[in-house]
Structure 1
Amino acid sequence: MFTSALFAGLIAGLIAVLLQWSLVEHLTLEGEEYETGNKTHFGGVLKINEAAGEVQITTPDETVEAEDGELTTRLSLTFFATIVTFIGWSLFMNAGFAVAERFGQIITMKDALLWGIAGFASVHLMTGIGLPPELPGTPAEDIELRQLWWITTAISSALAFALFAYGRTPVFIAVGFALLLAPHLIGAPHLSEYAGLAPPELSGEYVARSLAVGMMSWVVLGLAAGYFWNRGADTQSA
């Protein structure tokens, strides 16, 4: 199970990193320009060179070298963090496969795909209803409250989808709907007023692309986990 989870997590993590770098990373960097004050969207895009109140004199070559070094470090950390994260999600998914098969469910490739979609819905879509992805510098409520709501919502959503798929009785379906709706009826922690530094168009594009990357990555994870799981089962039976 660990080997299957490792390979599936590596594949999904690599896809997620490539999608992140090609579709989202430049939006994050753009958001940081507004966070630091180098740009502002009031009255158009305005360059502010003395945002920090002090001027540092550097040559163009030194500036480019510093930016390249910082970007390399950022991409390296993103790469390893994403890989480790998807290996962790893959371990959870394989553990779920094992529990399902213990109760007599056969995990086919179609089932694995649905597991991947359910994982995306639990981790990204349902949590994103209350706490959508945010650009750097976006003011927000206390991080511990948001983390607690996010974790609770992800777990309750995953349980709800499991009940929808395998409950097969009206009682389980009703409990699933209750678990799915409860976090949103309680409400995610938010500030009393809207506030933001970046243009709303940039924020909207960031949310849309982040969810798209999450969807594609989880679909790949489900398919890869299902492939290695069934391959392992075939090897054991042989």
Structure 2
Amino acid sequence: MIKQLFTSAVLAGLVAGIFAAALQLIFVVPLLIEGETFEQGLVVHFTTVENGTIETPVGNPDVMAQLPRHVGTLAMNMVVYTGFAFLMVVGFGIAQRAGHSVNGRSGLIWGLAGFLAVNLAPAVGLAPELPGTIAADMFARQMWWLGTVLASIAGIASIAFVRAPWGMITGAALLAAPHVIGAPVLDTYYGIAPPELASHFAARALAVAAASWAVLGATAGWLWCRSA
């Protein structure tokens, strides 16, 4: 069991980490770099002139000029997704002992559930933030994010594995609780980066996370099934 857990987690984490880093470098990092130019004041969203207001043209950041940063992105993704993979395969082991089968297909469902708990549910209250976006107190946001992730995991597990009717009710309540409480937000909206760029960044970040979790779950489930 230990060898099965370790092998599945490490290999799945490396595959998903490389996949996630590739998607981020193509779709997310260019927007991140562009957002930083607004945050640092190198580019401004609007500049005033005598006859009104004009928008500064959007630049085309040189992604390949930041190779050390990209290597760091790859390394961080491999570490993060390997950690997620270990948590997932521990869940595989518990589910298997309870009589549930684990394979590539069911692993894909586990991966999508992980995306829901770790990325999508918190994003309902706190969307992925582009540099130059003004936000509420960081500690308060971190605590809300952590509570939302834990409540979402518990809620999904209750719905998926508790056969009694109260499992569905409890799970739904846990999923809804953080959003009923509400995420910490500012009293007004303002920021440095263009809102169009921020929304594009948030959408791409969530899409990449969904694809990466799907790859992680399917790969981990397939490896788990084969190593068994």
The two structures have a TM-score, normalised by structure 1, of 0.86
CA distance in 1, matches of 2:27, 2:180: 33
Q: Residue in 2 aligned with 1:24? A: 28
Shift in Å, 1:168 = 2.1
List runs of 5+ in structure 1 lacking aligned partners.
Answer: 48-63, 234-238
Q: Give a deviation string over 1:100-157, Cα, whole Å, max 9, x none.
A: 1121111132211110110001111100000100101211111111111111101111
Which piece of structure 1 moves more, 175-184 or 157-166? 157-166
Q: Which amino acid aligns with 2:136?
A: E
Q: Give a deviation string over 1:164-216, Cα, whole Å, max 9, x none.
A: 11112210111101100000000011111111111111111101100100000
SS in 1 for 2:188: coil
SS in 2 for 1:139: coil
Q: Residue in 2 aligned with 1:8? A: 12
Runs of 4+ residues over 4 Å off in structure 1: none
Q: Residue in 2 aligned with 1:153? A: 148
CA distance in 1, matches of 2:23, 2:207: 9
SS in 2 for 1:37: coil
Q: Residue in 2 aligned with 1:37? A: 41
Of 200, 225, 231, the residue aligned with 2:226 is 231
Are the counterparts in 1 of residues 103 and 224 from structure 2 also a CA contact under 8 Å? no
Of 90, 105, 108, the residue aligned with 2:103 is 108
Q: Residue in 1 aligned with 2:51? A: none
SS in 1 for 2:78: helix
Shift in Å, 1:46 = 6.6
Q: Residue in 1 aligned with 2:49? A: none
Q: Which amino acid aligns with 1:23?
A: F
Q: Which amino acid aligns with 1:4?
A: S
Are the counterparts in 1 of residues 117 and 152 from structure 2 also a CA contact under 8 Å? yes
Q: Find out whether 1:165 has 2:156 as its counterpart.
A: no
CA distance in 2, matches of 1:46, 1:124: 32
Q: How many residue pairs are counted as aligned between the two chains?
A: 213
Are the counterparts in 2 of residues 40 and 46 from structure 1 also a CA contact under 8 Å? no
Q: Give a deviation string over 1:36-79, Cα, whole Å, max 9, x none.
A: 111111120179xxxxxxxxxxxxxxxx9xx93xx122112111
List runs of 5+ in structure 2 lacking aligned partners.
Answer: 47-53
SS in 2 for 1:86: helix
Larger radius of gyration: 1
The two structures have a TM-score, normalised by structure 2, of 0.90
CA distance in 2, matches of 1:3, 1:194: 47
% of aligned pairs identical? 44
CA distance in 2, matches of 1:176, 1:27: 36
Are the counterparts in 2 of residues 133 and 207 from structure 1 also a CA contact under 8 Å? yes
Q: Residue in 2 aligned with 1:94? A: 89
Q: Which amino acid aligns with 1:5?
A: A
Q: Residue in 1 aligned with 2:50? A: none
Are the counterparts in 2 of residues 130 and 188 from structure 1 also a CA contact under 8 Å? yes
Q: Which amino acid aligns with 1:92?
A: L
